[in-house]
Structure 1
Amino acid sequence: MRETMIYDTDVYQIRKDILKRMLEIIDNRKKVSTVFYGDSITKYMDIDHYFSFEAANCGIVGISSDMLLHFVDEAVIKYCPKQVFIMIGTNDLGNTTMTSPRQIAMNVKELIEIIHENLPESKVYLISCIPCIEKIHGYQYKKQGLRSNDILRMVFEEYKRIIPYSYVSFLDVFDSLLDENGVPLENCFLDGLHLTQDGYQRYTDAIKNQLKKCEEDINEIRSRD
């Protein structure tokens, strides 16, 4: 692991479990119209349970935004999907890479551009990071990394600031996992970072609500033309 390296590089180190998961994705040749691409939040989501459409789950535990760039051909482009959902960022803020919100957004922008150049008819949905329980995974508690809920929110703000493309829609699901006081709902988290079944229910409901809102906005724009 990177933490034990004598020379501490800022280049992401690929672990055995990540390679194994990548091989699973490479071996999957099933044609689908939707792809979910991201980290463990995506990997552990039961797409068949929460969504009515068929989709490829290309979530990879522990992956960061720069690594998504290196695997986009196998995880997205080979499927020729009509829509792609991307959710990434929290691992970038851990102690493994410590990437700034701006750089995360730049990586994701490049990822989206690669997808669009290869699949110009595809729609991209960019999902916000989810909150964490800071007393377990915040940088002030762990004394390492950059992760905090303010910085996790900042990633999404950077997305909206630097990604101007009409084929991209932004799905903000952050608040769906907070209580009325803006505090993360502990029953929604397994370990302060990953989601319980209740957490996934709220998370996927928020995605579907945001999708519905996007469709309503598009229909309203069309009605004006």
Structure 2
Amino acid sequence: MIMKKIITTILIGGFTLALAACGNEPASTNPQQPSPQAQEHKATSPVATATSYKSLFQNTVFLGDSITEGLSFHDVLDEGNVLAGAGKTAEFALEDIDELTKRDPKHIFIQLGSDDILWPTDNPKEYSIKNYAKLIEMIKEKLPQAKITLLTVTPVTAEAEKQEPRYKNINDYNQGLKELADKEHIGFTDLSPIISNGTDLYDSDGIHFKPKFYARMLDQLKDQVN
């Protein structure tokens, strides 16, 4: 009988200690409290980053072609901050002036040219730059307080250039954009350094881009909208 009481006492004591240990469990292992790793993941999640970009560029409009359209397609920016579409050229962008004026942005980034250099005319660059200049003048007239910045045509992969040799004219076209920006006394930003370290940012066609390209692009431009 005495031995049975001793065993019972030991079992009760062990059970009590186990309960005490559970009650003193560190907060980091409590299911209701996320671990430091989980908190860090949440803080750097794509959703949180996208939200910060949308806030930073809330008074901005990106005017451009299908490359630019990727900003809203990948939900990096809201559609209200992107005025772009596939096949858009400097000439076609003239039709967007009324809509651009309606949005009344403080900052306008223009990224056109990837379709212009493919335009079936004797001198695509000259033709495009002429319309580009007209576009800039119309924006200055309608939105005199807006800050305008031209963005370069992004390079394509070697395979894409092989399939469409006219892409070899991208560097020459970008030089024309720089000269235009200088002449019009507006901003100019070269985007090529973003993709100078590899091709992992490209989509499968070697022309368009994955979401992380747009994050890097906005990182490069964010100081211009502060």
TM-score tier, shorter chain, comes to 0.5 to 0.7
Query: Scaled by the length of structure 1, what TM-score is found?
Result: 0.64
Query: Scaled by the length of structure 2, what TM-score is found?
Result: 0.64
Give the letter aligned to residue 194 of structure 1.
H
- 2:208 and 2:165 map into 1 onto residues whose CA distance is 17
Tell me the C-alpha RMSD between the 2 structures: 2.8
Consecutive unaligned residues in structure 1, runs of 5 or more: 1-31, 180-184, 216-225
Alpha-carbon displacement from aligned partner over 1:108-166 (angstroms, at most 9, x marks no partner): 11101000011111111111111101322x1xx23x56212xx2122221122234233
Consecutive unaligned residues in structure 2, runs of 5 or more: 1-57
8 Å contact kept, 1:36–1:57 = yes
Alpha-carbon displacement from aligned partner over 1:3-48 (angstroms, at most 9, x marks no partner): xxxxxxxxxxxxxxxxxxxxxxxxxxxxx63211101111121499
Rate the CA distance shift 1:97–1:186 in 2: closer, same or farther, 3 A: farther
Larger Rg: 2
Identical amino acids, percent of aligned pairs: 25
1:70 aligns with 2:84: no
1:42 aligns with 2:68: yes
Residue in 2 that maps onto 1:146: 166
Give the letter aligned to residue 147 of structure 1.
Y
SS of the residue aligned with 2:154? Answer: coil
Rate the CA distance shift 1:46–1:162 in 2: closer, same or farther, 3 A: closer
Question: How far 1:65 sits from its partner (Å)?
Answer: 1.6
Residue in 1 that maps onto 2:193: 175
Give the letter aligned to residue 84 of structure 2.
G
Aligned residues: 167
Residue in 2 that maps onto 1:5: none
Question: How far 1:95 sits from its partner (Å)?
Answer: 6.1
Rate the CA distance shift 1:123–1:97 in 2: closer, same or farther, 3 A: same
Alpha-carbon displacement from aligned partner over 1:31-75 (angstroms, at most 9, x marks no partner): x63211101111121499657x9952111122112111123222x
Question: How far 1:172 sits from its partner (Å)?
Answer: 1.1
Residue in 2 that maps onto 1:132: 156
Structure ranking higher in helix proportion: 2
- 1:90 and 1:69 map into 2 onto residues whose CA distance is 16
Alpha-carbon displacement from aligned partner over 1:86-123 (angstroms, at most 9, x marks no partner): 10101112366685333322221110100001111111
1:165 aligns with 2:184: yes
SS of the residue aligned with 1:161? Answer: helix
8 Å contact kept, 1:95–1:146 = no
- 2:60 and 2:80 map into 1 onto residues whose CA distance is 5
